[in-house]
Amino acid sequence: MHWSRIAAFAAAPLAALLFAFPAAAQKDGKEKEFEPHVGQAGKDVIWVPTPDEVVERMLRMAQVGANDYVIDLGAGDGKIAIMAAKKFGARSMGIEYNPDMAKHAQHNVEKAGVTGRARIVQGDIFASDFTQASVITMYLLPALNLRLRPQILAMRPGTRVVSHSFNMDDWEPDETSSMDGRRAYFWVVPANVAGTWAFEATGGGAAERSELTLEQRFQKLEGSIGLGQVQGGLRDTRLRGFTIAFSYVDGNSVRRDLTGRVSGNRMEGSFRADNGTEGRWTATRK
Ligand SMILES: C[S@@+](CC[C@H](N)C(=O)[O-])C[C@H]1O[C@@H](n2cnc3c(N)ncnc32)[C@H](O)[C@@H]1O
């Protein structure tokens, strides 16, 4: 069932939901196995599973592999955590608030034969530590994505984030994929580079010291570099996780293309100039 059709569930009175979807019930003295129902109440959002082909695309967008630790926020029946482990060889965890659903999802992990690589924990995503993840997946709601955004942006630069259906307001995605009218959005958590940096370039026969100023809006960068009296604007800026790239034309009309890595208050890398020279550069936060 599509999300828009199921959205009506969100407005249903709690009593009606309890009536429609009783948790594990007693029948003939035996514990009846919990049967999940699309639209059942969750803490902040109801359960609607992401279709398999969307789950697969989400994990491909994030280029999930054996070195990854994938955490699905609001795990439902565990299908994202299970596919991450089974098809992509990752370690994974799903955090699910509904205790019956969490138990059911953990049972699905066992049935899928990925115990040891995948697990489901019962918990509230707003009270859980998910900072160890290299990949975060979500199918929540726009307001919930926004509530999680500060925590996600504080994660290790390079952490990949994928969301089914809902984006993150003015943090524009790095990729949007669509299939069958459904969308999946992808972001890479950018390093924090905004500010003023002491810049030094060596190579090409000359040592050069200057000041680099960077303005950042999520992964988008603008900036300038001091060239004597001139503030030379940066071109072709790019910030992807902890990798940075930008170009500028120096005081001798030479264009330099720089790439580097950000590590806290230091950046370093190499450059290539269009006069054939090559060199190294460093920048230290002022
Ligand atoms: C739309 S479903 C998505 C399920 C799964 N991620 C998928 O894509 O198939 C959202 C899930 O989040 C759970 N949930 C809602 N609020 C939660 C919270 N605060 N903490 C953890 N799970 C929550 C719901 O019970 C539901 O199973």
At 99-112, the pLDDT tens digits run 999 999 999 999 99
Q: Is 95 in the pocket of ligand 1 (CB under 6 A)?
A: yes
Work out whether the CA dihedral 128, 131, 137, 141 comes out positive or negative. Answer: positive
Which amino acid appears at position 250 of this protein? D
Q: How far is the CA of 46 from the centre of ligand 1 (A)?
A: 7
Report the range of poorest mean pLDDT among 89-98, 203-212, 271-280.
203-212
Confidence (pLDDT) at 16: 36
H or E element, residue 16: helix 14-20
b (16+ CB within 10 A) / e for 50-82 = beeebbbbbbebbebeeebebbbbbbbbbbbbb
Mean pLDDT rounded to a whole number for the chain: 91
Residue range 124-129: average pLDDT? 98
d(CA 157, CA 168) in angstroms, rounded, equals: 17
Residue range 200-207: average pLDDT? 79
Q: Is 49 in the pocket of ligand 1 (CB under 6 A)?
A: yes
Which backbone phi and psi does 64 adopt, to 5 degrees?
Answer: -65, 135
HSE (CB half, 13 Å, CA atoms) of 39?
20
- Per-residue pLDDT at 214 exceeds 60: yes
Q: How far is the CA of 96 from the centre of ligand 1 (A)?
A: 6
Which amino acid appears at position 33 of this protein? E
Confidence (pLDDT) at 208: 86
Confidence (pLDDT) at 105: 98
- Per-residue pLDDT at 19 exceeds 70: no
Q: How far is CA 253 from CA 63, 204, 232, 256, in A?
A: 40, 15, 11, 10
Q: How far is the CA of 75 from the centre of ligand 1 (A)?
A: 5
Task: Pull the structure tokens for residue 251.
Answer: 């005081």
Kindly report the pTM of this predicted structure: 0.89
Q: Is 126 in the pocket of ligand 1 (CB under 6 A)?
A: yes
Confidence (pLDDT) at 111: 98
Q: Is 36 in the pocket of ligand 1 (CB under 6 A)?
A: no
d(CA 56, CA 281) in angstroms, rounded, equals: 40
